[in-house]
Structure 1
Amino acid sequence: AGPLAHPIRPDNYIEINNFYTMTVYEKGAEVIRMFNTLLGPKGYRKATDLYFDRFDGQAVTCDDWIKCMEDASGMDLTQFRLWYSQAGTPEIEATGEYNETTKTYTLTLTQHIPPTAGQPDKDPMHIPVALGLMGPNGDDLIETQVLHLKEPQQTFTFKDIGTKPVPSILRNFSAPVKLTTDLTDDDLKFLMVHDTDGFNRWEAGQTYALRVINKLIDQGAMDESLLESLESLLDLAIQGKEDKALIAKALGLPDVPIIAQTRDVVDPDAIYKAREEIRNAFAERCEDKLLSVYKSNLETGAYSIAPEAMARRALKNMVLGYLDDPAIAAEQYKKSTNMTDRVAALGVLTDHDGPEKDVAFADFYQRFKDYPLVVDKWFSLQAIGVNDNTIPNIKALSKHGDFTLKNPNRVRSLYGAFAMNNPVVFHKADGAGYALLKEAVVTLNDINPQIAARMLTPLREWKRYTKDRQDKMKSVLQEIASTEKLSPDVFEIVSKSLKA
């Protein structure tokens, strides 16, 4: 949601360039993937074959695509079309109850689509909810089933369930929705380790971590059991019994922007402090195990893009982030034989001013200065550093010989990376991050209005932040709005943001 919330197929706009958004592209892609979930792999293949037979080489519409899905499957997708016309993210609340006497499990799903600008009232959506039921030994009690949620509230009953299950809801991210459940912390910890669905295993860990982080922010108390759960994943990595790529993902804590989405009032400093407290506590608790996993996954042979080799690098570099040691990162950089390991090392070093950082970044630039896309990465890695010198460094980098505001990728790599991927420094309480972005946007307004408008993304939801930050962001938006000859691109974003 937000002041510029729009459906996948917008019905009105001031400047069409402002709709190259995640809603159109990423949510749009998820909606296409939902057809595969609804029709099944064979049905979806049949429908896509029909689509290409009818329309290959033509300009077609969303309705043409959906009609092929209907004709090939015989399914009525009238209600599903709402995914293209209704803005906002559906919210699902799931509650379950097990009856020991009848051996039945009942799951109740309730859906709600929050109001958005121009759409105060929403109709219920057709939402595919993939469900599994896990037994106490980590076994699937039923095969994954796709439930069709079409009403504001529906109840589904499963018979012959011999023991109280833990539900695994929204498997394989079967729909782009926000899910809340009545799962306990113990349920989440169980799914985090035992769920047979890789996405839900990761999601359970993220949900549990979010609970712990928010409790730490609000009450100042850390739940040590999160550290125990993370340590159990580390033990699995040491034993070599699990997919290293999945463990690497599962070990990661939610990023600051994800945590911010769960807060009524966003204070980036408080979020970062709590996240760092947990990260540091885990690193201290498991230092020997982390070092063991890191060393056992170092590169030993020729560079490979085999899945096993990629998984090994992912795990090693996740652990490197927890170790957060400039000396280890610098050593990895020196010995790296591939871009993945070099960038991971620089990702650690960028937070630590010192000779290791200076030497590594200088070397990276000299090695790859003739490769524009890699130079973009060089700028970005410096823009996301969380330290007191980031803003002065960005100002210096804006005067670098390889930087120009006339190159959209270069703008994204410096100002975009800073404003959108470094929320801690961008939202510094003194407002220096906002002022830096404002200067760039005003200048870009005359050079590339589309990019200028895109740079305003982190200011759109200014009302969600602490009062001091609200005032500073609003002031910056007002100053931009008063700019002479403001482009339609920037005007649309600024005006809608201020009116929110």
Structure 2
Amino acid sequence: MSLQAKKRADYLPPAFTINDVKMDVQLHPTCTRVTSEYQVERMGNHGHALTLDGDNLTLREVCIDGQPYTDYEQTDSSLVICNVADDFSLKLVTEIDPEHNQALEGLYLSAGTYCTQCEAEGFRRITYYLDRPDVLARFEVTLHGDKQHYPTLLANGNPIARGDHDDGTHWVTWQDPHPKPAYLFALVAGDFDLLEDSYTTTSGKPVKLELYVDKGKRDQGVFALESLKRAMKWDEDTFGLEYDLDIYMIVAVDFFNMGAMENKGLNIFNSKFVLADQDSATDEDFFNVESVIAHEYFHNWTGNRVTCRDWFQLSLKEGLTVFRDQQFSADMTSPLSNRIKHVRVMREHQFAEDASAMSHPIRPEEVIEMNNFYTVTVYDKGAEVIRMFHTLLGPEKFREGMDEYFRRHDGQAVTCDDFVAAMQSVTDLNLGHFALWYSQSGTPVIEVTTSYDPQTRRMDITFSQHTAPTADQKDKASLFMPVAFDCIDSAGNHYTDDDGQVRDGMFILDTAAKTLHFSDVPEPLIPVVLGNFSAPAKVENSLSAEQLLAVFQYANDTFNRWDALQSLYDWCIHQYELENQAAVDATIWQGLEQVITRESHNHELLGECLVIPSFETLCQSRQLVEVAALNTARSQFCRDFAQRLHGPLETLFKTLETGPYQYTQTAINARRCRNVVLNHLACAGDADKLLNQQFEQADNMTDSLGALKAAQGHSPSVFESLMSRFEQRWNHDPLVLDKWFGLHATTERTDILSQLSLLQQHPRFAKGNPNRVRAVIGSFAFFNTAGFHAPDGSGYQFVTDYLLKLDAVNPQVAARIVTPLTQWHNFAPDYQLLMKAQLERIANHKGLSGDLYEKVSKSLAFKVNSEQQ
């Protein structure tokens, strides 16, 4: 199999554009009829035919200017219409089969609901069209459907007419006055419960708010609707951006490949990011609902009103909007916890992607399958680049740059360069060097070296940067990085550099190396680097355990304090890998005990600091990982941690009262801290009574799940008992049952593969439901270290067997779950051979999708460079 890559450098403006679209959609399970009328205009002086994109369509009629037309050719992926005028009206009639569309792209029918997903290239599965983001048209859509089964008919924009037919069907016409690309088209038809509300914008414009959920789920949508209003108010206050239609609609569906989709005025959501109440949703679920609701709403301006010229510019909308939703979440909840959450994603997933065969800049240069653009690099590293703009310019100038961006480009499809130019217009800082972040892949490493002369009492601290060659780029240049910096001594005194390069706790590292000088220093200083994760980089800063504890005690930046303990835990676990546990001596345990005692009332910081780095995070500071050895070392350290610190942990647990459930930041911090401590107590042993007691008395899902997770790895009999009770109570709720599936799939047990097979036989397991597949197969592949990385390769084979079946029906989900296999390069040779053998099986599979082919073929062709060994 060989598919041709698309390259950013090959971009050409469209030969034609479509200005106005009228669609008439007659819904039918297996034969939906779509009549489309376009006003087409030739762009430029050329004689090219009109080539429209199409996939799995049955063409019934072609008319130009009202007359039947036959001068066209069809291929598997296009409709080529020859000898057309410069301006003309085109009518197409196509038929599609929503019921059998298991890929969940285009228009599909699942669980009795018609739904669409058109980003990135799904609209071509509905009708022939110029399916590219730089073709913007005004849409008017009329939907027809059975009134009894589909009383709700929704599309983008405002409803302008409706009526009934004599045959028991009805129709609704929707008009979107804002030109949009086809990827923002949406259509939903079904029978829902409706929550209604309203919002008045700052300028006094009334907006109807409508939230559609499955029957019986109405009460679980209240929090989402309140979150929407908070997001609308925040965007007005922070960026001066008001909503621009008369109605804003959200629909929650169970069968959806993505988390949510920002279709203009009609957002379609995976139910897991809408439905929430204290019984069925954890604090994390509530957070995610609010965050994703805000993210899709913020897209109305950063993605919809200003959209991408081409898909290589995806971070233009996604990186920017992720940054905006992160800022919103920090304002709604906690800046520290939010920052740690995002940094964990970067360290566990984005750094791994940077070092793999799928490495790419936030603005990629080439791709085979557009769906593979939706990566942690484009989204999360893209957000970090926007955050650096915000850091460098400051909040006021950044807002000026955003205002200028909208002033210049409202209603346009633009590029990342256009965004940089808007920011450049409001600052004297030359952003030309900084813009290299858009085109250079890989994770930069900042190496910190120190030199102290006790005779002259002079200290030099040198920062050097380098980025290892990546799969897509060999040569790397020095980047422009804002580096948050503090410098302390062992007593907590803070020092400033002689030359004043550090200003307001920040300096710019824009060359291969930079040195800071300190005079009249009584002892070697401790450099505290990259506060608040000011740049998406790794730091090599060789501090001793005592110095790391000093950083925790004295650093100004709270993120640095948390990060110092993460580095200390990493160092300790490495000693266990070396079978040198004695190096983790009494002074370290005493220091950690002081941390617990000193911060016992700071539940937010302590709750974060007591979390031991995950296996995935630890892998990013190691090469050629011996999985069993690292996993064992981490487990042994966790047991010693729990036993050595049992006294203060137990005292903390007893004094940490959370009270009746409230979704407030204080209560969230207390619950998180208490559940982290409970996990440690379970790890120490003899906590069965506490586990049963918390599960029995819990008045919320956070504490119920906390008890289950604590029992999962440390008390098998309690775990099985509680899981049985949990299933009996929640068997009716698909979203909660996904948590049950995921817990089983991530449990480390010798018969895990048999357990996974049993889970697939469960009456509530649905292989066509992406949430269910991710809960079982995805959870196992990503987070069951011992099972997935079984020394005999059985875990790899199990996942591969499933992926080969899944790829035939839903390539998008298959391509995401294959990711752990494609990161073979970071593991020891024995593991590499076993993982690559399964990748070879996939590559040789007949009928492989482009989504899976791209990731597997690139992974097999990947050559590990010497810096990655």
- Quick check: which has more Rg, 1 or 2? 2
Deviation at 1:410, TM superposition (A): 1.4
User: In the alignment, is residue 382 of structure 1 matched against residue 744 of structure 2?
Assistant: yes
Match of 1:220 among 573, 577, 580: 580
On the 8 A contact 1:103/1:163 being kept in 2, the answer is yes
- Equivalences for residues 414-425 of structure 1 within 5 A: 414-425=776-787
Deviation at 1:366, TM superposition (A): 3.5
TM-aligned CA distance change 1:197 to 1:440, over 3 Å:
same
Letter of the 2:525 counterpart: P
Match of 1:53 among 385, 396, 407: 407
- How far apart in 1 are the matches of 2:563 and 2:655? 27
Letter of the 1:327 counterpart: K
User: In the alignment, is residue 400 of structure 1 matched against residue 787 of structure 2?
Assistant: no
Deviation at 1:44, TM superposition (A): 1.8
SS of structure 2 residue aligned to 1:108: strand
On the 8 A contact 2:486/2:556 being kept in 1, the answer is no
Q: How many residues align?
A: 496
User: In the alignment, is residue 254 of structure 1 matched against residue 613 of structure 2?
Assistant: yes
- How far apart in 1 are the matches of 2:426 and 2:572? 47
- Equivalences for residues 278-317 of structure 1 within 5 A: 278-299=637-658, 301-317=659-675
SS of structure 2 residue aligned to 1:264: coil
- How far apart in 2 are the matches of 1:432 and 1:353? 25
Q: Find the counterpart in structure 1 of residue 568 from structure 2.
A: 208
SS of structure 1 residue aligned to 2:563: helix
Deviation at 1:155, TM superposition (A): 1.7
Letter of the 1:227 counterpart: W
Q: Larger deviation: 434-443 or 356-365? A: 356-365
Deviations 1:86-114 (A, max 9, x none): 11101111123456677664321111011
Match of 2:373 among 10, 16, 19: 19
Deviation at 1:161, TM superposition (A): 6.1
- Equivalences for residues 25-424 of structure 1 within 5 A: 25-98=379-452, 105-142=459-496, 144-158=504-518, 164-222=524-582, 223-224=584-585, 225-238=587-600, 240=601, 243-299=602-658, 301-324=659-682, 325-351=687-713, 354-424=716-786
Q: Find the counterpart in structure 2 of residue 429 from structure 1.
A: 791
Deviation at 1:355, TM superposition (A): 4.4
Q: Find the counterpart in structure 1 of residue 57 from structure 2.
A: none
SS of structure 1 residue aligned to 2:619: helix
Question: Root-mean-square deviation (CA), in Å?
Answer: 2.1
Structure 1, unpaired ranges of 5+:
none
Letter of the 1:86 counterpart: Q
Deviations 1:277-332 (A, max 9, x none): 11111222222221111121143x32122222211112111111111234322221
SS of structure 2 residue aligned to 1:73: coil
- How far apart in 2 are the matches of 1:296 and 1:246? 17
On the 8 A contact 1:132/1:144 being kept in 2, the answer is no
TM-score, normalising length from structure 1?
0.93
On the 8 A contact 2:688/2:715 being kept in 1, the answer is no
TM-aligned CA distance change 1:235 to 1:186, over 3 Å:
same
Q: Find the counterpart in structure 1 of residue 802 from structure 2.
A: 440
Deviation at 1:397, TM superposition (A): 0.8
TM-aligned CA distance change 1:8 to 1:335, over 3 Å:
same
TM-aligned CA distance change 1:318 to 1:105, over 3 Å:
same
Letter of the 1:211 counterpart: W
Q: Larger deviation: 216-225 or 334-343? A: 216-225
Q: Find the counterpart in structure 2 of residue 7 from structure 1.
A: 361
Task: Please state which structure has a larger fraction of its residues in helix.
Answer: 1
Letter of the 1:450 counterpart: Q
TM-aligned CA distance change 1:208 to 1:18, over 3 Å:
same
TM-aligned CA distance change 1:424 to 1:298, over 3 Å:
farther
Task: Please state which structure has a larger fraction of its residues in strand.
Answer: 2
- How far apart in 1 are the matches of 2:561 and 2:703? 26
Deviation at 1:249, TM superposition (A): 1.3
TM-score, normalising length from structure 2?
0.55
Deviation at 1:45, TM superposition (A): 2.4
Deviation at 1:179, TM superposition (A): 0.6
Deviations 1:337-387 (A, max 9, x none): 122111111112223564422332233233333433222222112211122
